[in-house]
Amino acid sequence: MKLNPTHTLFLLCDVQTKFRSAIYGYEHVIATSNKMVKLAKLLEIPVVCTTQNTRALGPTDPAIDLDSLAPLLLGTFDKTLFSMITQDVKSILDSRPFTSVVIFGIESHVCVLQTVLSLLALGKYSVHVVADGVSSCNSFEIPIALDRMRTEGAIIGTSESIAFQLMGDAGLNSFKPFSKFIKEVKESTKRAGETLLQGQVASVGQSGAVKSVM
């Protein structure tokens, strides 16, 4: 399904301060999260953020500029459920004619995966995962989780590919600031992709064992 900014919701999953020293390539998840926040502002895409048990794990990392979203930030919800699709988030999904959801955050094999599965089970949305915007404590979990999500029906894309899909047309007035934005984040995009994705292609053999090509 084509991504349309007027019918798309961004979900930022559990990027919290206590994870800083534990998550592989954490600083690149922060960079990509900020890239998606800037894209949301540019194309007026609403964002929902969750945290996992803030009492133990702290708030959303303040390095992510959520305040700049103003009313585009529809809420930040704390949860114990691993999936982001709590009753609060479900209510937001039901309140607007969303057809697509774009997810980024951590951990790829736990909360991101379970959010994807929850959304797919609803049968209403095309579910897109930002491959250079998700990570886990162990790097080997990333390709396995992405492969599982793809198998279940999620669409895996890079932040830049998703951004251009949402932009859609170079003839629009918003393309000039969009092009400037893409150039501004070019280096951080490259570093995030090289760290989080390159050399971590996973394939599943007939036996079901996962083989990582390093």
Structure tokens at 138: 């162990």
Residue 14 is a catalytic residue: yes
Sign of the alpha-carbon dihedral angle for 151, 3, 193, 67:
negative
Give the tokens for residue 19: 């994870």
92 and 74 in contact (C-beta within 8 Å)?
A: yes
Q: Which residues face 34 on adjacent strands?
A: none
Residue 35 tokens, joined: 């890239």
Query: Of the residues 13, 35, 61, 79, which is catalytic?
Result: 79
CA-CA distance, 54 to 70, in Å (whole number)?
Answer: 22
Q: Which residue in 11, 32, 2, 29 sits closest to 160, CA to CA?
A: 32
* Residue 111 is a catalytic residue: yes
In the residue annotation, 137 being an active-site residue is answered as no
Tell me which of 14, 35, 61, 132 is the catalytic residue. 14
Residues annotated as catalytic (active site), given as ranges: 14, 79, 111
